[in-house]
Structure 1
Amino acid sequence: MRAAVCVGAGGPEVLEVREVPVPAVRDGWSLVRVLGAGLNRSELRTRQGHSPNVRFPRVLGIECVGVVAESTDAALPEGTTVAAVMGEMGREFDGGYAEYALLPNALLMPLTTALPWDVLAALPETYLTAQGALDALGIGRTRLLIRGGTSSVGLAAASIAAGHGAEIAATTRRPDKAPALTAAGVTHVVVDDGGPLELPWPDGPDHVLDLVGARTAVDSLKLVRRGGTVCVAGSLSGWSIADFQPVAMIPSGTRLTAFHSDDLKGRADVLQRIVGEVEAGVYRPNVDRVFGLAEIVEAHRYMEADQASGKLVVIP
């Protein structure tokens, strides 16, 4: 089979498309024919050498969709449509950047859908993260600020929150990406030029979904209304907040929480509901661009240059 193998830490050129053996099925694991894989910035950081305990060479990819090719589990018959997310895919074991992936049965989420593979591949990590983060915030008919709005998770979160009747502001560093935000249900596009954000609410939003992460989290705590909640669910600016002092930096009564997509791994019920909303036209899949496996280096360059407005997908 063909696989995009990360041969070591470095730039996009360390991803090499190679012929490798198809993995052999073993107890507790199933062989999945990968028919689509979403690209994620966490894979970019793994490729750069920032993920701990990753040994190279490694096939990256923290998510994929496809069909079961072989399994020892009677609940996963051959031909079942499945999705898989996280659970150390592409880190401790080979992930979705390949024609086949051997995955733990516990990660596989059987789905019923007629969506095209590129659209289905855009949903698992993106929409599960967005849904989990909004659940952590307790979203409803509230005022929501999304920082990092044109990321794939940001657009998914806007689509979900709009369906709940939220009034949404979202940031982007590029004014030319504003149409993607408004199409996703954003009411107020806020250009983040590095200075103070000009928000439509004098007393601040009720909630902030911070997908930029480490660089902006403390500022988000200052922006949210007193008693509001900030949820950090992204790492566009890295993993750690330098010199973080909770007592000094979290205003009294304001809440800081987080969401990690591992919390919803294996939740076929949640993903099936999301798929249904996409099929019904309630949620937008927000696919920016689809690449072939042979274009994986170009895909990582595109992702690293922040050119996308939405999800990037690889079709092996």
Structure 2
Amino acid sequence: MSGTMRAVVLDGPGPAEALDIRERPIPVPMPGQVLIRVRAFGLNRSELHTRLGLAEGVTFPRVPGIEAVGEVADAPGGEFRTGQKVVTLMGGMGRVFDGGYAGYTCVPAGQVIAFESGLPWSTIGAIPEMLQTAHGSLTVGLDTKPGQSLLIRGGTSSVGMAAAILAKRRGLTVLGSTRDESKRQALAAIGVDHVLIDDGGLAAAVRRFFPDGVDAALELVGTPTLPDTLQATRMHGVVCFTGMLSNQWIVPDFYPIDYIPRGVRLTAYTGGAADLPPAVLQEFLDAVSDGTAVAPIGKVYTLDDIVQAHTDMEENRVSGKLVVTT
């Protein structure tokens, strides 16, 4: 396929205004790659880290974007048929090769997942990375079971809201935190059982509901709140470090015996396309379609609004997932 496309290009770290929309050649896929006509993509903190110069292994100039949804435009190896609806995520997208902030993206076939759905692209675009991270955190990171209690620290983030939705569908009691009183209703609306206003110290509030501490906790804020999250968790409970909304992920002078409460287990989660089973993606899309689940979308933008979208993400103005349609 020849021609040009619109793409967001980042020449180097900088403010939101450094995201520049340009005309670029449509990529040409090689065997083993898939060219996707991008219909929508979600925004992620990973892309904010790239723009701020905090991400490792990034080369510039670069089209950001660690996920995208759309239709197969070409698959020389025959892995997918032209026109098939697919999602792609991770695998170096937006860091070591150009990502989803464009009209087309060219990615390895191994990180492409096919699906069927009549949902709008703006809804589908919210789901891949958010669902993969939430599902992986609850299964690989926390090994949650029905009937358990779960604290989600950073509850109004897209992953936090997705995790709450999945956890309720799995039969857990969910506590979700937010620093903003005005976002309380957003958590209640998706079924969070106990909404906590986070002033930096939640352990005491958590233990008013669960005196021994919660069974599991999902840390999405980062290292500033991790010690308190550990204190909110019962002996033999599990804390999974997944997110870094604070942009802080290093614990200086880490001394485990002093840092981790006795008997509390600390894990971490990160994953990619291989960690999102196609059946899990399809089941969630079907559930959203039939109204038994919701995709927690905060706001939808067009590609021309990319600077505003990044600014909103950086300043935490919106609850839920930010989506851009192309």
Instruction: Please confirm whether the aligned pair reaches a TM-score higher than 0.5, indicating the same fold.
Output: yes
Q: Which runs of 4+ in 1 moved over 4 A?
A: none
3-state SS, counterpart of residue 206 of structure 1: strand
Deviations 1:29-73 (A, max 9, x none): 111000010000110010111111211110000000000001112
Letter in 1 for 2:218: L
Query: Per-residue deviation at 1:266?
Result: 6.1
Which of 10, 14, 18 matches 1:14?
18
For the pair 1:235 / 2:235, whether they are aligned, the reply is no
Which of 278, 281, 290 matches 1:268?
278
Counterpart CA distance in 2 for 1:75 and 1:195 is 50
1:1-316 alignment to 2 at 5 Å? Answer: 1-135=5-139, 136-139=141-144, 140-197=146-203, 198-199=205-206, 200-237=209-246, 238-262=248-272, 264-265=274-275, 267-316=277-326
Q: Matched residue pairs, number?
A: 316
Q: Which runs of 5+ in 1 are unaligned?
A: none
Query: Per-residue deviation at 1:4?
Result: 0.6
8 A contact 1:156–1:184 mirrored in 2: no
Deviations 1:180-199 (A, max 9, x none): 10111101110012344522
8 A contact 1:163–1:282 mirrored in 2: no
TM-score (norm 2): 0.94
Counterpart CA distance in 2 for 1:203 and 1:252 is 13
Deviations 1:197-228 (A, max 9, x none): 52222221111111112222222111101111
8 A contact 2:88–2:113 mirrored in 1: yes
3-state SS, counterpart of residue 58 of structure 2: coil
8 A contact 1:170–1:188 mirrored in 2: yes
Deviations 1:1-48 (A, max 9, x none): 000111210110110000011011112111100001000011001011
8 A contact 1:132–1:264 mirrored in 2: no
3-state SS, counterpart of residue 162 of structure 1: helix
3-state SS, counterpart of residue 261 of structure 1: coil
- The range that moved more, 185-194 or 214-223, is 214-223
Query: Alignment identity in percent?
Result: 45
Deviations 1:113-171 (A, max 9, x none): 11110110111000111111111312221111100000000000111111122111111
- The range that moved more, 70-79 or 14-23, is 70-79
Query: Per-residue deviation at 1:80?
Result: 0.6
Query: Per-residue deviation at 1:245?
Result: 1.5
Q: Which runs of 5+ in 2 are unaligned?
A: none
Counterpart CA distance in 1 for 2:174 and 2:311 is 30
Counterpart CA distance in 1 for 2:281 and 2:202 is 37
- RMSD over aligned CA atoms reads 1.3
Counterpart CA distance in 1 for 2:80 and 2:273 is 22
3-state SS, counterpart of residue 210 of structure 2: coil
Counterpart CA distance in 2 for 1:107 and 1:263 is 5
Counterpart CA distance in 2 for 1:31 and 1:313 is 21
Counterpart CA distance in 1 for 2:109 and 2:273 is 16
Counterpart CA distance in 1 for 2:287 and 2:66 is 23
Counterpart CA distance in 2 for 1:12 and 1:221 is 34
- The range that moved more, 29-38 or 160-169, is 160-169
Counterpart CA distance in 1 for 2:75 and 2:260 is 49
TM-score (norm 1): 0.97
